[in-house]
A and B are shown apart, each in its own frame.
Chain A
Amino acid sequence: MTSSSAAVLQDPPRDVAAAAIAREGHRRDALLPVLHALQDRFGHVPAETIPFIAKALNLSRADVHGVVSFYHEFRTAPPGRHIVRLCLAEACQAMGAPALRAHVEQTLGVGMHETTSDGTVTLEPVYCLGNCACAPSVMIDGETHGRVTAERFDALLAEPRGRS
């Protein structure tokens, strides 16, 4: 158990939302920064915060839900403990991303937007990490890795999985 997951248990999502709104202001344009603060902390935007945010920013719940659902990155359910984002854009395709994808999906036993049954890894697609001269690229827990072969992926994955 890491210290940050202990903190998650202590801080109710509503308090995190309230703190973010106090920092960003009660204006509509605070919405994305507030949603990011929640996702940074909990890995997703907890559903119970939506009515609270709507009231604080003077928006309808539908408004807030519409924003959360528009942006690919915001999740509405908790992800696995580690997040693997595989780049599927053109430059990575040119260097074997489709084959890497097949390997990753087979190794993890999940498809895109799914979480392994042990709750360790969530797999997501990403369209460009800006690492196009070092393709194919994979981001694991916020760190970008380049020239990822199947073997290198297995080695990269062994490390965070061993820790969790």
Chain B
Amino acid sequence: MNHTIYIPLDTSARSLGADAVAAAISAQAASRGVTIRIVRTGSRGAFWLEPLVEVATPSGRIAYGPVQPGDVAALFDCNFLTGGPHPLRLGIAAELDFFRRQERLTFQRVGVIDPLSLEDYLAAGGFRGLDQALAIGRARTLTEVIESGGRGRGGAAFPTGLKWRTAHDAPGADKYLVCNADEGDSGTFSDRMLLEGDPFTLIEGMLIAGYAIGAAKGYIYLRSEYPNAERVLAAAIAAAERHGYLGRRVSTTDFAFEIEIRRGAGAYVCGEETALLESIEGRRGQVRAKPPLPALQGLFGQPTVVNNVISLASVPAILAHGAEYYRDYGVGRSRGTLPFQLGGNIRYGGLVEKAFGLTLRELLYDFGGGSASGRPIRAVQVGGPLGAYLPETLFDTPLDYESFAGVSAMLGHGGIVVFDDTVDMARLARFAMSFCAHESCGKCTPCRIGAVRGVEVIDRILGDRDRPAAIALLRDLCDTMTQGSLCALGGLTPLPVLSALEHFPEDFAIRPRTHAA
């Protein structure tokens, strides 16, 4: 009998030993004369259970985890290939509580299918969105995306469909689609998981976007810190080319589209869309002044749509099921779902795709199970290094764009980093300023100089040199950076700094001068 075993090739699963587990299972099977087939999938995103091994049985895929190479012989002894009992047996993977309570639209196939099998992708509903777009035409495709209420998932939350329409209507000989896969925010990994676990969904989303705006070429700007994602994505693009989904006649129509991967080089600011365009053009990643909007004058001076990975990967489901289906999820002006990412000091860290509107507390405790250390959660940073630090009193804030703006915070890319009560908030405020100084592109003065001065002023506060004046100066400096910076790096760095000062003033009290990073 041939047994099928699923083991993730996702970076996080591999970082915990998934490759060694796969090798141990192969060796064990060979020594016992058992025929097995190992399928490397993405991760379902329950990282405390990784490496998570699943075996196909008539009643479904039975999960075991976290598995270490030393467990493998015992798993064979317990007949895990047919779902036998073992202390690591978790039950049917899809029915685990962590997954059952989610609403997976964009991530429905991640961790389930072989990410490089077009057959698997088609069998799991793939390319239905593209078929629908090609059937209804450009104008109706644009209308569907506008009516879905989908907004940019990279952080700025600009309505995706409006951006597409602007580029579609703009005059230009060539139009470009650029996928921003420069996922540099600490606490975020949903782009990486999708790229590694279901790259055809991104390719399909890019095809729909390219078709709708009239672009023949798409770029994926991928950060160099994701070599595993690059390998999977490159193989997926090659497979799509071989099967006629990319090339001169997409799905045997007259629509031509190709995709090229461009690798970043460690500059955080290149996640900003105009710096990203400069980088693709072969320049220093310096921010451009807006206007002109990239949708009118972007890559090589042509109308260009720049969309985040998740924004594009959400599109196939919108086209396949209709705008209404997607819009029915969410609250207020935040429609659809967001793949939240729970990281840092959290017991059950991972990916939670949910409709907008649940509270931060539900995410932290009902899904996350509290801190990993077992100590009280004291601060949570939402939305990456440029997001605010929130105290326990704000944990009941609903997770939607407007509610977060209402408490001087932002959802950003949905990354949530948890800190327990050992955290030093002044050190994190100082880190935010020093990170900005390190990553500033140097184009505008408030960011380039302001961040350096910000570190100095925080040092003055902590060294108790004229504290009240230094605190007033820090607020003033933050105001200048907020109002005067060209892009979100300088403009939003004050958010973590001021939120730390606002919500955790006791950490800025007198103490010996700090030399911490």
Contacts and interface: CB of A to CB of B under 8 A. Distances in A.
A14 B201 CA distance: 40
Given A29-B282, A90-B187, A134 B47 contact: yes
B281 A29 contact: yes
B15 A90 contact: no
B335 to A, nearest CB: 26
Contact of A144 (B15, B184, B265, B350): B15
Nearest to A147: B16
A135 interface: yes
Contact of B343 (A98, A126, A132, A144): A132
Contacts of B191: 130
A146 B285 contact: no
A88 interface: yes
Interface stretch (A3-11, A32-40, A76-84, A115-123): A32-40
B12 interface: yes
Nearest to A133: B349
Interface stretch (B117-125, B220-228, B247-255): B220-228
A131 B279 contact: no
Contacts of B279: 32
Contacts of B192: 130
B385 A146 contact: no
A91 B188 CA distance: 9
Interface string B281-303: 11111100000000000001000
A69 to B, nearest CB: 8
Nearest to B286: A70
B225 A128 contact: yes
Interface string B326-351: 00000000000000011111100110
B107 interface: no
A94 B12 CA distance: 17
Interface in B242-292: 262-268, 279-286
B308 interface: no
Interface stretch (B136-144, B317-325, B416-424): B416-424
A41 to B, nearest CB: 14
B224 A90 contact: no
User: Interface size bucket, A side?
Assistant: 35 or more
B189 interface: yes
Contact of A94 (B284, B300, B417): B417
Contacts of B439: 127
Interface in A104-142: 126-135, 137, 139, 142
B185 interface: yes
Chain B interface category by residue count: 35 or more
A67 interface: yes
Given A33-B263, A93-B428, A132 B435 contact: no
Contacts of B227: 142
Contacts of B11: 129-131, 144
A146 B12 contact: yes
B285 A133 contact: no
B266 A73 contact: yes
B285 A127 contact: no
B415 A71 contact: no
A39 B343 CA distance: 32
B12 A134 contact: yes
A98 B515 CA distance: 12
Interface of B: 11-12, 14-16, 47-48, 50, 183-189, 191-192, 224-228, 262-268, 279-286, 300, 341-346, 349-350, 372, 381, 385, 415, 417-420, 423, 428, 431, 435, 439, 441, 516-517
Interface of A: 27-33, 35-36, 57, 66-67, 70-74, 88-95, 98, 101, 126-135, 137, 139, 142-147
19 contacts: A29-B282, A66-B284, A70-B285, A70-B441, A71-B285, A89-B187, A89-B385, A92-B186, A94-B343, A94-B417, A127-B385, A128-B183, A128-B225, A130-B183, A130-B191, A131-B15, A134-B16, A134-B47, A145-B15
